[in-house]
Amino acid sequence: MDAADARFRAKLARQSPDLPAAVAEYTRRYARAPPRGFDKWYDYARAHGFVMVDEFDVIAEDLAPFWEMGGRELRERARVVGGLPSVDLVRVRGGEAETVKGGDGRFVDSEVSARAAGFKAMLTKFVKELPDMDFPINAKAEGRVVVPWEHKNYPNTTKDAPQLDPATFRPDWAGNGSVWDAWRRTCAPAAPARRLYNSISANAAGGGGARDWLAEAEAGAGGESHAGIGTGGEFAFTRETGAGEVDFCQAPSAHYEQGHFFSDWRVLPTLVPVFSPARARGFGDIRIPSHYYYGGTRRYTYGWDPINLEQRPVDAMEVPWEAKRDVVWWRGASTGGGSSPPGFGRGYQRHRFLRMSSLGIVPGTLADAQRTTAVTFAVPPQVETVLTQSRAQEPYTYSSSSTSTGGYTYTNTYTTVPVPLGALNADVMDTAFTKAVVPIGAEHRFGDSTELGVAWGYKYLLDLDGMGYSGRFMAFLASDSVPVKATVYDEFFSGWIEPWVHYIPLSATYSEIYNIVAYFSGPPPSALRAAQLADPNTASATAQEEGDRRLRRIARAGKQWKQTIGRTVDMEIYVYRLALEYARLWADDREAMSYTP
């Protein structure tokens, strides 16, 4: 947390103070002049108090492949992909924008044009400054562009890429292939994922293909559940989460645990410009802000007033920090992936977490409730002595020191104990499905649908991917609680936000979630009982106080980020910059579309 805070402060401090500095930084980073209109964009950004004036590596990364083709070819590819069902167009002509439904209306879906309408709204304030061009907008949340490795790494192979025919293209797989089968071709030829026999692993047997990470931890994999006295080194937290966390090319069996590999919507196996709200590893979509983030809705917006159609700075259901529960909260539908091929829903990200957090709570799981997972927590000096003496005959290592942080002095001694999952879940989990979409088993907890504002009564707000990225992340940041985010996606703001400063990242295995709560909020009663510390007062009160202080600091930092860097105007500024970069690529004479002071 301290290192992350230092990184973020350093990033803020080095942002360019004026236009000449911004031009120089752009040239240094990307080895070319900025796009034409950069000066007007800079003035617009500064007039609205924009902070991250230099941090647009996301745009550079997304658009880099299109520099390998000319403007005419890009325009033709945009025309073709814009005619496909499940892809809509935002068309700019004469300083005005309009939306055009893709596929001649052949694609029937409630989400058609919603993302295109949101993107068009983001262009409104500066569209008169833009030249004519077309933006093909993904109608779905899932990524669509999957370019085979050979077409990305050999000259001129894009000319030999599969052709897309709008007249015959089907937006869904309809049993003919799958995302995974197409995606694994993005890997290098020698990668395990390119070898068909390695796409199915012994580790993927049973459970719809998903590994049982808690069972492995219980068995002592990696030493995670080794009990005893230590210095906190037993904690295993992830530094960040996102598209780079799991290398599916090298670990192909891991794809069973992410629903986007089972999406029903067909990917596009050639380099085409498709603008999508998020980007997973191996995909070639161009990232734009989500329409859920930009518009106001009751389901996705903190402080939304549905009567006056405006956003309030404090949600009507917000709860003071001291009254929030030290519990992990999540509600949602059993989405997370499609059914191509069917039968793998048990391994999807939401299902895995709900199955873990429902043990001992849902009838029928009581037999498994005694399964244990390791929990590590701080203990005070007087308890150190008792624990050390009682375990003198066991091969535990012992080390202790005192640390002063933020005015608190607390022991750095920790104990690690196996705790029954049933009791642990009852202490720290309030998670449930509210709607069945993908078929699920009875071992998953179900609950009533709730208002978004119910979440504000909890300190830990779990943010899990659904069919694509999670649309609630911005609302969680805006609240006075702390988002705990597990994702395989990167979004437009990836270079603007810092994990462990503005939110808590959670690994794809979820195995550290119980230790996150134990670190910040102190050991749950079930952990104290497992350590034979029946009196809650024997937990290290000073360490718990320090943990809660740090947790609240993350909540405040996330809220401040949303109010200063994650505003709707910041999304407009991002889209403005993206549009200028895209306009240069759209042109035949790209040099003429570069900025000259």
Whether 286 and 63 have beta carbons less than 8 Å apart is answered as yes
pLDDT-derived band at 377 (thresholds 50, 70, 90) equals: confident
**What are 199-256's pLDDT values in tens digits?**
444 344 334 556 666 655 555 433 344 455 655 666 789 999 999 989 999 999 999 9
Provide the H-helix boundaries in 303-435: 349-358, 381-390, 421-428
How high is the pLDDT of residue 214?
64
How high is the pLDDT of residue 61?
98
**What are 303-336's pLDDT values in tens digits?**
999 898 899 999 999 999 999 999 999 999 988 8
* Amino acid identity, position 329: W
pLDDT at 519 over 80: yes
pLDDT at 145 over 60: yes
The residue ranking higher by pLDDT, 156 or 435, is 435
Strands of the 372-378 sheet, one edge to the other: 228-230, 414-420, 372-378
Tell me, letter by letter, the H, E, C secondary structure of 509-531: CCCCHHHHHHHHHCCCHHHHHHC
pLDDT-derived band at 575 (thresholds 50, 70, 90) equals: very high
Computed over every residue of the chain, the mean pLDDT equals 86
pLDDT, average across residues 168-174: 87
pLDDT at 386 over 70: no
How high is the pLDDT of residue 539?
58
> Phi and psi dihedrals of 255, rounded to 5?
-70, -20
pLDDT-derived band at 578 (thresholds 50, 70, 90) equals: very high
Out of 82-86, 109-113, 150-154, pick the least confident: 109-113
Whether 276 and 263 have beta carbons less than 8 Å apart is answered as no
Partners of 429 in the β-ladder: 328
Share of the chain above pLDDT 70, in %: 82
How high is the pLDDT of residue 415?
85
> Phi and psi dihedrals of 103, rounded to 5?
70, 20
pLDDT at 452 over 80: yes
Out of 247-261, 274-288, 385-399, 479-493, pick the least confident: 385-399
In 3D space, the residue among 365, 461, 377, 382 whose CA is nearest the CA of residue 419 turns out to be: 377
Residue 585: which residues within 8 A CB-CB, separation 6 or more?
63, 66, 67, 71, 74
In angstroms, rounded to a whole number, what is the distance separating the alpha carbons of residues 82 and 90? 9
pLDDT-derived band at 568 (thresholds 50, 70, 90) equals: very high
Whether 216 and 462 have beta carbons less than 8 Å apart is answered as no
pLDDT at 396 over 60: no
Burial class (CB in 10 A: 0-12, 13-18, 19+), 135: buried
Q: How many CB atoms neighbour CB 388 within 10 A?
A: 16
pLDDT at 510 over 60: yes
Residue 161: which residues within 8 A CB-CB, separation 6 or more?
147, 148, 151, 269, 270, 271
How high is the pLDDT of residue 225?
40
Structure tokens at 279: 């980007």
pLDDT at 570 over 60: yes
pLDDT, average across residues 505-528: 93
The residue ranking higher by pLDDT, 363 or 429, is 429
Highest mean pLDDT (candidates 112-121, 210-219, 220-229, 476-485): 476-485
pLDDT-derived band at 30 (thresholds 50, 70, 90) equals: very high
Structure tokens at 495: 């270079």
Tokens 């701080």 — which residue?
A: 378
pLDDT at 373 over 50: yes
Residue 590 has what DSSP assignment?
T
Whether 334 and 412 have beta carbons less than 8 Å apart is answered as no
